[in-house]
Amino acid sequence: MIEQFDTKKWLKKLQLSEFPEPEHVELKYPVLLCHGYGAIASLVKPSPLYDVAMFLRAHNIQAFAPNIVPYATIEIRAENWVRVINRLFDQLSHQKLNIIAHSMAGLDIRYALSKMDITDHVASFTTISTPHRGTSLAELSLKTPDAIKDKMADLLDWMGNRVYPGTKSDSVGSAEQLTRSYVNEQFNPNIPDVDSIPYYSFSSAVGKGTPHPIKVISRYQNNYIFQQEGINDGMVSVESSIWGEHFKTSNISHLEQMNLRVKDDRTTLFESFWMDVVRTLQEKGH
């Protein structure tokens, strides 16, 4: 055993880094992190993207991850986000925000930018795994037999109303707006992008069709979406995620993007994923 002890290796571990602090990222404007559909993350975290906000703050970025109603139509959720944005501007010295929206929140903010008076306050808009062309997973959930679907809807709405009592939850109504037919035939034709705002997007793919693993609990959904739309992150396909200027397809699942169900050996993926996002904003001068 003594012969196998590598003295140089262990002494090297004792060497001090000149700058041990987290990488310093300089953004001109604060970051607002907008969460998507669902309340499960809110049961174990202060907000679904709370871990992301704390990670970004460690890198010198003023980041906020508020809560809004977890299950509601795009229009209602957009109203919630506008209210949050107005509250933030009452507290901040800055007059603009970099908005980073995860999953369904990307549709909420696209609606708010197109239909509500917030464009002057937005420096950039980035979407992460947003179903810009809908998701077959929403269609699958709506195909469930009525008796089961109604029970599930009651449970989700009950949960949503408990974690966020300020706005009534509508799990079925919001799921209907995530279908490919709704997004492509009704939402996209009527919600044009705003010319003065840069739209960026990031996608991700794991599991079926990739060399990257996905949790057993998500494999059925992952396989189903792959059959319908191609490679995906377990909830949204890469094809659907691309909008505006697309920067990268990463190898981290939809839940891992929120730091949910992340194994220790994949923590670096969560961190590098979000560093890619904010470094991009820094390079773009936001």
For residue 212, the model assigns a pLDDT of 93
For residue 156, the model assigns a pLDDT of 82
What are the distances in angstroms from CA 120 to CA 64, 86, 112, 194, 278? 19, 12, 12, 11, 21
Q: Which of 155, 135, 153 lies closest to 144 in space, CA to CA?
A: 153
**pLDDT tens, position by position, 190-234:** 999 999 999 999 999 999 999 999 888 889 999 999 999 999 999
Strands of the sheet containing 245-250, edge to edge, are 63-64, 31-34, 97-102, 122-128, 199-204, 245-250
Phi/psi of residue 285, nearest 5 degrees: 80, 25
Domain ranges for the chain: 25-283
- Comparing 135-139, 244-248, 260-264, the range with the smallest average pLDDT is 260-264
Helix, strand or coil, per DSSP, at residue 101: strand
Phi/psi of residue 126, nearest 5 degrees: -120, 130
Burial track 128-148 (b if 16+ CB lie within 10 A, e otherwise): bbbbbbbbbbbbbbeeeeeee
For residue 264, the model assigns a pLDDT of 67
For residue 262, the model assigns a pLDDT of 62
> How many angstroms separate the CA atoms of 214 and 221, rounded?
11
Fold of the domain spanning 25-283: Rossmann fold (3.40.50)
Q: Which of 131, 120, 124, 113 lies closest to 192 in space, CA to CA?
A: 113
For residue 3, the model assigns a pLDDT of 53
Which 8-state DSSP code applies to residue 221? H
Proportion of the chain above pLDDT 90, given as a percent: 67
**pLDDT tens, position by position, 202-212:** 999 999 999 99
For residue 1, the model assigns a pLDDT of 46
- Per-residue pLDDT band at 257 (split at 50, 70, 90): very high
> How many angstroms separate the CA atoms of 120 and 161, rounded?
32
Residue 223 half-sphere exposure toward CB, CA atoms < 13 A? 6
For residue 16, the model assigns a pLDDT of 76
**pLDDT tens, position by position, 132-181:** 999 999 998 888 877 777 888 888 878 788 888 888 888 888 999 999 99
Average pLDDT, the chain: 90
pLDDT at 62 over 90: yes
Q: Which amino acid is at 169?
A: S
For residue 4, the model assigns a pLDDT of 63
pLDDT at 32 over 80: yes
Tokens of 151: 């029970």
Under 8 Å between Cβ of 52 and 65: yes
